[in-house]
Amino acid sequence: MSQDPEKVNMPRPELFDFHGVSMTRLFTDNWEEVQNFEARPDDILIATYPKAGTTWVSYILDLLYFGQTCPERQTTIPIFERVPFLEIFVPNLISGKDQAENLPTTPRLIKTHFPVQFVPKSFWEQNCKVVYVARNAKDNMVSYFYFSCMSQLQPEPGDWSSFFQKFLEGNCM
C-alpha cells in the first residue's frame, strides 16, 4: 500500500517554468517514466485543473465501474490508491505512474492535472476515454487558495491578493 502524498512532511516545493507551464518537481522529476506510460485502450483518464472536482469525479466513476461487483473496495481501499494521480512523484513513496501500472482493475481509472500537451501520447494512441472536468473559475480559485494554504505539497500561496493575481496570470501549479 502506498501512503497518502498529502500526509508527507517535507518543505514546500518551488514553482518553476517547465516547457511554458508552471510546475513543481513533484510533477517533473519522473517526467520520462510518465511520458513512457503505456495506456491500455480501456483506460479512463480523469483530467482536471487542481481543485476542480477530481476526487468527486474519481469516486463517481469508481462507483459506476466497480460499486456493484466490488463494493468493499469503497471502504477498504483509499481513493488515492483506487484512482492514482499519474504524474505525482514523492521521494520514498510509490510513484503515481507505478500505482497506475499496477492497478488490478479493468478499466484502470487514472487522474491527471497535466495540461493536454503533457498527457502521455499512449492515451491518444490507444484512443482512451478522457473525462475532463471544469469548474467555475471563481469557485476553483477559492478552493485552490485554501488547499494551497493547507497542503505542504503546494508552493507557498501567499496572501489572497497575491494568489488571486498568480491564478489570473496562470502562475499556479
Query: Using one digit for the tens of pLDDT, what is the confidence trace for 109-142?
Result: 999 999 999 999 999 999 999 999 999 999 999 9
Mean pLDDT value across the chain:
93
Quote the cell numbers at residue 139: 469557485
CATH topology of domain 22-135: Rossmann fold (3.40.50)
All structural domains of the chain with their residue ranges:
22-135, 136-173
3-state SS of the chain: helix, strand, coil percent to 5?
40, 10, 45
What does residue 128 show for φ and ψ, rounded to 5 degrees?
Answer: -70, 155
The answer on pLDDT for 6 being more than 90 is: no
The answer on pLDDT for 89 being more than 70 is: yes
- Give mean pLDDT, residues 70-99: 93
Query: Is 113 marked active-site?
Result: yes
pTM for this predicted structure = 0.89
* Residue 82: Cβ-neighbour burial (10 angstroms; 0-12, 13-18, 19+): buried
Check 113, 123, 154, 166 and give the catalytic one.
113
C-beta separation of 27 from 94 below 8 A: no
The answer on pLDDT for 173 being more than 50 is: yes
Helix (H) or strand (E) holding 59: helix 54-66
